Amino acid sequence: MILVVTKSRDDAFDALFFQGLPDDLTSQIRVLEFGNDALTPALAEAAAVIVMRHGLFSFGHLAQSAGWACIPRYYFLDDNLMLLSEEPDVYGPYWSAYTDANVRRALKGFAGVLLASRPLMTYFEERALHPRLLEYPPVAWPILRSRAEGPATDAWRRPTGEPLRIAFFGGEHRRDLFAACVYPAIQRLAADQRVDLVLAGVDPAALPAPIAGLRLISVPYQLRYGAALAELARRHIDILVHPTQPSRNNPYKNANVLINARAVGAVAALSHLPPYDTLGTPSPAALCENTPDAWYASLSGLAQDPDLCGRTFASAARYCDEHFSGRANAAAIRSIVAAHAAPSTASRAYRRALAGPVLGFDRAVFRAKTVARRVVRRAVGSA
């Protein structure tokens, strides 16, 4: 069994990188969140452990105790956290530990590093952060709402009077840009046609009041990625908007927003920035400069041209089939399974004795911090 330790189960990282594997591999993977009571016995029984994303420095003594217990360790990363550490004005101080030197030092003794993009692999290679790098891109999510592909299809022609349905499905770091550039464009678009705007995890009260032709639909925040996508699919979205701030990290990211759009049967409208500006021709998304005028022109063009929607969506489907097929992921996991045998009974006992007390301490600290955060949130909410 391969143990994957993550911040939250069933979130986008678990879903996009581990739930789409072939059944024979999925059965050999166990995903647990850091702080779970079952972490110590699961670690003792694992043939190898994969530490997810920020867990290199944020999961207490997990990586160190696994090393002390001689458990093969792998690290997974899908963002260039080393560059994020240099942009505290954009991403805050959360990634300050992720300097090249710290990451190189922390990864000593790891059996390999799973990386979600080719540029990220190149970054690790050029800085010699680890000698064994495995390509591990996101895996396309199942199609939740079928949409006919190709030009001139009835699937992209809305009946007379039917509203254009646009959705925003992004993290907090995208919300300011959405409010500044995309929402004004949607307001302008709604002056000429009815628009339903579905906001996932965004309070409509935080936005200027909509004009008469615009209806705001709030969808509660869902940590579970599959449930969140299923909710969007039920809303019959036409366009999924996904604005992106300029960042040095952007070229190292994947265009997994195309997976979201394809799954819910929508065309993706994205900022004309890396990694989306190098997706090929014809583009699998509508690309927009980060100005209200540019977003309006792009959204208006999609609203008026069902053939363009069909072509763009078909390109996105082909891109996902080619780049997010899961083949590289299956090869990486199979190589890990083949390299590491299950531990013996004696090894499991040794691991429990060595790692148990340290991870128990980590769990107590984790729970104390969780309780403290809840108290602070309640105090702020009642103020």
**If pLDDT is split at 50, 70 and 90, which confidence band does 188 have?**
very high
pLDDT for residue 172: 75
**The residue type at 195:** V
Q: Is 375 helix (H, G, I), strand (E, B) or coil?
A: helix
pLDDT tens digits, one per residue of 316-348:
999 999 999 999 999 999 999 999 999 999 999
pLDDT digits (tens, 9 = 90+) for 230-244: 999 999 999 999 999
- Residue 20 confidence (pLDDT) above 50: yes
Closest CA to 168 of 179, 160, 157: 179
Residue spans of alpha helices (H) in 136-289: 172-177, 183-189, 225-234, 257-264
CATH code of residue 246: 3.40.50.2000
Compare 221 and 57 and report the one with higher pLDDT: 57
Based on the domain organization, do 334 and 287 belong to the same domain?
A: no
Please tell me whether residues 101 and 178 are part of one structural domain. Answer: no
Domain boundary among 284, 306, 323: 323
User: Do 169 and 310 fall into the same domain?
Assistant: yes
- The pLDDT assigned to 202 comes to 85
Confidence class of residue 375 from pLDDT cuts 50, 70 and 90? low
Q: Is residue 148 part of a domain?
A: no
Looking at the fold, whether 66 and 11 belong to one and the same domain comes out as: yes
Q: What is the pLDDT of residue 149?
A: 54
Task: Specify whether 204 is located in the same domain as 313.
Answer: yes
What are the residue ranges of helices labelled H in the chain? 12-18, 23-26, 39-45, 55-58, 62-68, 81-84, 88-91, 100-106, 118-126, 172-177, 183-189, 225-234, 257-264, 292-304, 306-323, 327-339, 345-382
Local confidence band at 154 (pLDDT 50, 70, 90 cut-offs): low
Higher pLDDT, 117 or 222: 117
- pLDDT band, residue 157 (cuts 50/70/90): confident
Full domain range(s) for residue 173: 154-323
Question: What is the arithmetic mean of pLDDT over 7-12?
Answer: 84
- Cα–Cα nearest to 180, from 190, 168, 194: 168
Q: Is residue 334 part of a domain?
A: yes
Asked if residue 205 and residue 135 are part of one domain, the reply reads no
User: Is residue 95 a contact partner of residue 56, using CB atoms and an 8 Å limit?
Assistant: no
pTM: 0.92
Q: Residue 72 and residue 353: Cα distance in Å, rounded? A: 17
| Amino acid residing at 83 | L
Counting the structural domains of the chain, the total is 2
For residue 303, is it within any domain?
Answer: yes
Residue 203 or 128, more confident? 128
First-residue to last-residue Cα distance in the chain: 48
Pair 169, 282 in one domain: yes
Contact 230, 114 (CB under 8 A): no
Q: What is the CATH number of the domain that holds 59?
A: 3.40.50
Mean pLDDT, rounded, of the chain: 91
Judge if 335 and 316 occupy the same domain: no
Beta-carbon contacts of residue 93 (< 8 Å; ≥ 6 apart): none
Categorise residue 182: left if φ over 0, alpha if ψ from -120 to 50, beta otherwise: alpha
Tokens of residue 41, six digits = 């016995």
In order, the DSSP letters of 47-103 are SEEEEETTHHHHSTTHHHHHHHTT--EEEEESS-HHHHTT-HHHHGGGGTT--HHHH
Residue with tokens 């993706």: 268
Is residue 152 very low, low, confident or very high in pLDDT (cuts 50, 70, 90)?
A: very low
More confident call, 268 vs 162: 268
Does residue 108 or residue 379 have the better pLDDT? 108
Distance CA 263, CA 282 (A): 20
C-alpha radius of gyration, the chain, whole number: 22
Listed range (4-18, 132-146, 283-297, 298-312) with the worst mean pLDDT: 4-18
The pLDDT, as a whole number, for residue 62 is 93
Q: Are residues 196 and 105 in the same domain?
A: no
Which pLDDT value is given to residue 268?
A: 98
User: What is the pLDDT confidence band of residue 153, given thresholds at 50, 70 and 90?
Assistant: low
Q: Tell which residue, 249, 248, 255, 280, has the closest CA to residue 269.
A: 255
CA 108 vs CA 115, 155, 173, 281, 356: distances in Å: 16, 53, 32, 41, 22
Q: With a cut of 80, say whether residue 379 has pLDDT above it.
A: no
Q: How many residues appear in the chain?
A: 383
Among residues 277, 292, 323, which one ends one of the domains? 323
In sequence order, the β-bridge partners of residue 167 are 198, 240
pLDDT at res. 159: 82
Residue 147 in domain? no
Same domain, 119 and 199: no
Same domain, 311 and 330: no
The verdict on 245 and 366 lying in the same domain is no
Instruction: Read off the amino acid at residue 9.
Output: R
β 112-115/133-135 pair status: parallel
Write out pLDDT tens, residues 63-95.
Answer: 999 999 999 999 999 999 999 998 887 777 889
Q: Are 63 and 55 in contact (CB under 8 A)?
A: yes
Contacts of 380 (CB under 8 A, 6+ apart): none
Tens digit of each residue's pLDDT (9 = 90 or more) over 175-186 = 899 999 999 999
Residue 145 lies inside a defined structural domain of this protein: no
